Structure 1
Amino acid sequence: MKKVTKAIIPAAGLGTRFLPETKAMPKEMLPIVDTPTIQYIVEEAKASGITDLVIVIGKGKRAIEDHFSPNYMLEENLKKKHKEKMLEEVEKTNEMNIYFIRQAYPDGLGDAVLTAKSFIGNDPFVVMLGDDLMQDKVPLTKQLIESYQDSGASTLAVMKVPHEETSKYGVIDPLDEVKPGLYDVKTFVEKPNPEDAPSDLAIIGRYLFTPEIFEVLENTKPGKGNEVQLTDAIDTLNKKQRVFAHEFKGKRFDTGNKLSWLETNIEYGINHPEIKGEFREYLKKIGKRLEKEDQ
């Protein structure tokens, strides 16, 4: 069985939920406290044993390329000034092989994954979405890799969500629980209405695929939103070979809209080693002020 060392991060979306900021700045570069969101995704890949990473970008995403390119002038400056902690931060992903592929037009997540076919070749690989930050003792990507090493099958991450929110996600219809937290799946449904949702187990932003997914994607017609939906391709793949769902039980932070992005910043801020004390005190003051205003 081939070792999983490759990953795709789709980052070609237009980021319209964050306009006007994303007119010039990629949404993947929006910071969580002091770190671009996509940096956390790349660090998770590194911690999971990924060595070769391709980021699928579109027009106006040059800032992502610049961020992951070594900045020798900055690094030398930090060395001379003995700012070791800052140097460590900017060098975190220097040793990874990070490549960029341009998606001509944002035509759905399935199309973005297909764009990286030549990079992946005939190897198993991981897809990591930039909107979801995952926290657990073992990185979620590594959990999927370990599951694949046992089964040899494509495996995607799912998490229980409130039933009324199932229309926001791809949802699985589980056949049975093969072992604790691992499901054999009957069908995968893209954004069902709550009354039609087969379960509360929603697909979240981590997938591990065998290379056969590419042939399926090449023959997948546009679905919801007139885009090539990855969930539709997964459902087709599941009819040809088993696809498992691994239930994630850690913490998931959604950065895909303004409110959830602000909530994530607060969650990360109250644990940030540099500011957590002062920030917690500030939040207490805000809480007291809001209580008075609401009375």
Structure 2
Amino acid sequence: MKYNKIILAGGNGYLGGILAQYYRSLAAEIIILSRKPAPADGNIKTIVWNGVAEGEWESTLEGADLLVNLCGKNVNCRYTEKNRQEIIISRINPTMLLGRVIAKMQSPPQLWINITSATIYRHAEDHVQDEEMGEIGYGFSIDVCRQWEQTFFETNTPHTRKIALRMGIVLGKRDGAFPRLLNLVKCGLGGRQGDGQQYVSWVHEQDAAKCTEWLMEHKELNGAINCTSPEAVKNTELMKLMRRAYGVPFGLPSPAWLLELGAMFIGTETELILKSRWVAPKRLVDSGYPFIFPKAEHAIKDIISIY
């Protein structure tokens, strides 16, 4: 095996599952820290923790090649005061806990990746945002990202390299945004959302997993790194590519006022759809990372091939 141990804190969700399967053949042991027990699946094991208190689980971090922290309440909800608090606490508390545990370890993880969000940048339709020249935005979701990253980098882990991986919208076959958008396409509702001019910074699930290995191997990289494809697309183009790949000739558009009504009905926020995220993975590109799917057209065709 190439690696000894991979730890996925809060890894029982969609992206955690992608990472676990990616490392299944590369690591001797993959440990998922979860609030719920689950049976072992070969070399993938689940250890129960609550993300708040220290306990027996912390010994599993000893000697790990990689720790990926995926903890956090899903932001696909209405931003009520209760949900806002839960969104923040569910990210800050596990990050602080992991930092305390790592600080006192004899053999701490070599690399700690916190999966944060590319939504930390401002609404951008004028020019691309990268790690060097990108401008931090304002509003609740940006405040969450800022607090989260500040907490992460303030943890005292002198022997553990740290990366805040600012993840774009992950496009994949089993969950996430893609199946929901495809359902709209199938129903003839796959037109533009809003004016369709907002950029979508996306990444194929295979690149989302593979780049974590790249970061392990390139020890000169640390700090904030964007995880998006090199080519963001406008919403109107994304929906057109999906319709074409699935063979649907038309899609009714959804104006902003209709999206707001729909968001209230299903319990989400229109910001998740209408904010223009034009983000570039400059540091990954500069380091030579070879994207499997740099173009949206090819990523969409790959995903739709299973339907």
What TM-score, normalized to structure 1?
0.34
**In proportion to residue count, which structure has more strand?**
1
Larger Rg: 1
What TM-score, normalized to structure 2?
0.33
Q: Which has the higher contact order (CA 8 A, sep 6+)?
A: 1
